[in-house]
Structure 1
């Protein structure tokens, strides 16, 4: 009965509110993802210079690189749940505003703690945009082809943003203007907020469900504790890491209990009985722990073991991220030919092969040795990103699309945070010689490739638990 009332409210709202054109809606949401990913990957392009400009210690530099992913991971699920219950446009516009504020703080920072705070705020704001963007586009289209195009362009925007971030910061760093990219990001965030407010209709608020404040507090506290533990572990601060881990276990266990017993849980437990939903999030975990973790470490490896500058390393990484952006557009017609589950499985399998092609480096190896693996992994990652965007919406009820996007991206970024920590620890060595660094890279390339291939096997197995109707729908 409640779902019917919600559906009726949504239809009534849609009938009285002017709709944005599909093209305009897609441009604004894709631009928001592109800008968020520019901010996310930017410090990879000038991390050493940024550390010098802010006087950052090695520990502070770790937080500079990790802080935005922390903000994203702890906010995505809460943002998605709140948006579905209180209006997606409201959360999207607020997210763009928060992102703008965070970018300004980064631009004016003169010490590491202020810059890290700005990056955390950027992550929270970006979560509001990422969790709601695809749901807002869904309000202005019903055609399956347009939904597939939305997922493809969303994946393209993600790839282009990741590719452009290190290049943008690296170029401005050459001119000694490291803060300029953050002013540009602030301007872009403000423009997106204004455009979205005048463009999108507000989605119907669910007046029959109270916000799950207890769940939100427990989840946020648990994820913050877990991510702090990971960052501290990367700095070999074992006591702080163990304390953070213990707090994370307790608070996340409390979150699970609150979701199982609460009257209005943030995450509907029945979703986890859908095989295709579980499969989509398993694919997100494999993506984060595999290709994103290795590529996040790649710039460091290229600079230390292969002697490239930060800008050169960012340009090499573009072979992966840029090709992923291209393939995400090219596969937009896949929805009419293959299921979302098949798209995820194939994307993971080929990505895994690409990662394995990156191993086997010897002391005489040049950057050219990495090109085939980067291109194969990049092209497949584009297929994968578009599939994740597609399934995040397709495997949840229409009124919960923001939650679906939030859960999938939380899984991806949380797994990426864990994965890059493991990769950094395994690849690091007290010896600075090239042979040791190459051996560490070879080991983590095999590890991440194997994890990705395991994800490719698990996706169809998990999806098989869905009913035939659910499998056809997704």
Structure 2
């Protein structure tokens, strides 16, 4: 194919990285802003804890279900194109969430947001990993990319708290609009188009099975406290999830170019990365969901004060993410992940001892520890996972990593929310045990599992991963394939 190619310059690499970080920042802000607004949404719409779970999980479910499809579309039609479409859809969904006055429409437009978000996060990571081809520079770039998530965590609760206390909960969605429009403009100006030379064919059956598996699992967990754990609805959801997996795995194994690359999970290092991300996000999402209700409902804090107390966690995440990138570049990926697991185990154990009368200042310590653990693991799992596929399928690799993140988030909100709903409490405290032993135990077990899977992993030192070939980008006039 005839094309006019340009070799990317160093300065443009970092400009592209900044745009991709802005997209992740947008998604991160949205997630944490919604969490801090949940009590206000519940009061105004007279919503139950199950409704609050669906406000969060409707977004996460669709995001998890469509990430693989979005990565495939990006590889086929161009990563820049899909990225810009995703930004546009996300901005539209955010604007409509800010206009709605119905809990049904709120959940519906959260779904619209998720459709856009599914085209943003994995494609942004694919762009970054295609631009930064050397091992050391890629590790550092992904460290910055991961750190932007921590910045979003910091801005979300604080900005959301201020907006909720001054303008109401609907305004939290409007903050996405100007940021999203800016990202669209910068993408159009800075990000070059790349695509796979051999894109995979579409897999509608695999896509339907993925949505059925994720949706039925989350529905069963979220609605179990209402329907009953032994009810036909709960057992039926479990059956759909089990049958879906039993059908999906052999079906995808028979396809030459599957939607879900099941064979990739035979690689122990990749599977370890996938499981580590899922466990970490389960703990992280569960902690944020419980923390919001604990601080506002059980401790009587305003949304702004609750957001302020989340800043140490976010700050620790940002700092640890930057440190993590440097450690991975030096070949210390496994040690970094084990230390991260230790931090994610210790913090929930400390929170279990917090009671309604415990001085709030003490909560900063476990939050810092938890944020540091979460920040440390982002870079090593991302670098390992996206290095397992060639450049022309970077969208697939990035989508698998992002899918594990969203699955973990869905399970975290669903499991922790079900524990709280089962206790009959609108918040975290059903007894004088602060965050609650049950919630803290679930979160701590995630940290222990992270230690276990990484301590025995045969993950090769990061420095042994071969560098990818230099990236050649196509011009807007003659769009060729990635070389």
Q: Does the pair score TM above 0.5?
A: yes
Which has the larger helix fraction? 1
C-alpha deviation, 1:85, in angstroms: 3.5
Say if 1:215 and 1:266, in contact at 8 Å, map to a contact too: yes
Q: 2:65 corresponds to which residue? A: 74
Cα separation, 1, equivalents of 2:175 and 2:341: 34
Per-residue CA distance 1:155-203 (angstroms, 9 max, x = gap): 1111121222222222112223433332231232233223223322222
Aligned residue number for residue 438 of structure 1: 433
Indicate whether 1:402 and 2:395 are aligned: yes
Deviates more, 1:220-229 or 1:50-59: 50-59
C-alpha distance in 2 between matches for 1:231 and 1:331: 34
Residues 311-350 of structure 1: CA distance to partner in whole angstroms, max 9, x if unpaired? 3222212221232122212333212323433332322222
Alpha-carbon deviations, 1:113-146, whole Å to 9, x = none? 1111111121221121111112112333323332
- Whether 2:272 is the aligned partner of 1:282: answer no
Compute the displacement of 1:98 (Å): 1.5
Corresponding residue for 1:313? 306
Match of 2:341 among 340, 348, 351: 348
Q: Are the counterparts in 1 of residues 128 and 142 from structure 2 also a CA contact under 8 Å?
A: no
Are the structure 2 counterparts of residues 287 and 224 from structure 1 closer, same or farther at C-alpha, using a change threshold of 3 Å? same
Aligned residues of 1:84 and 1:399 also touching (Cα < 8 A): yes
Partner SS state of residue 331, structure 1: helix
Deviations 1:91-127 (A, max 9, x none): 2112111111211220111111111111112122112
Q: Distance in 1 between matches of 2:455 and 2:391?
A: 23
TM (norm. structure 1) is: 0.88
- Distance (Å, rounded) in 2 between the aligned partners of 1:219 and 1:278: 18
Q: Is the 8 A contact 1:427 1:441 kept in 2?
A: no
Where do 5+ consecutive residues of structure 1 fail to align? 1-8
**Counterpart contact for 1:286–1:455, Cα < 8 Å:** yes
Q: Distance in 1 between matches of 2:160 and 2:356?
A: 30
Separation in structure 2 between the aligned mates of residue 208 and residue 402 of structure 1, nearest angstrom: 10
- Give the Cα separation in 2 of the matches to 1:105 and 1:440: 34
Note if 1:65 corresponds to 2:56: yes
> Post-superposition shift, 1:281?
0.7
Aligned to 2:203: 212
1:438 is paired with a residue whose SS is coil
| SS in structure 1 of the partner of residue 358 of structure 2 | coil
Q: How many equivalent pairs are there? A: 461
Asked if residue 255 in structure 1 is aligned to residue 245 in structure 2, the reply is no
Could you tell me how far 1:240 is from its partner in structure 2? Answer: 3.5
Shift of 1:17: 7.3
State the Cα deviation string for residues 256-310 of structure 1 (Å, max 9, x = none).
Answer: 2221112321133331121110110111122023233223211112223323223
What is the alpha-carbon distance in structure 1 between the residues aligned to residue 172 and residue 417 of structure 2?
A: 27
Give the Cα separation in 2 of the matches to 1:242 and 1:399.
41
Q: Which residue pairs with 2:464 in the alignment?
A: 472
Give the Cα separation in 1 of the matches to 2:226 and 2:443: 21
**Range that drifts further, 187-196 or 28-37:** 187-196
User: Which of 34, 38, 43 matches 2:34?
Assistant: 43
Other-structure match for 1:323: 316
1:185 aligns with 2:176: yes
Distance 1:262-1:252 versus aligned 2 partners, 3 A rule: same
Q: Structure 1 residues 273-282 or 196-205, which shifts more?
A: 196-205
| Residue correspondence of structure 1 range 108-123 to structure 2 within 5 A | 108-123=99-114
Say whether the 8 Å CA contact 1:94–1:128 is kept in structure 2. yes
Q: Give the root-mean-square deviation of aligned CA atoms.
A: 2.7
> CA 1:344 to 1:469, structure 2 compared with 1: closer, same or farther past 3 Å?
closer
Residue 4 of structure 1 corresponds to: none
Q: How does 1:125-136 map onto structure 2 within 5 Å?
A: 125-136=116-127
Q: Distance in 2 between matches of 1:471 and 1:331?
A: 14
CA 1:297–1:77: 2 relative to 1, 3 Å: farther
Unaligned runs of 5+ in 2: 467-483
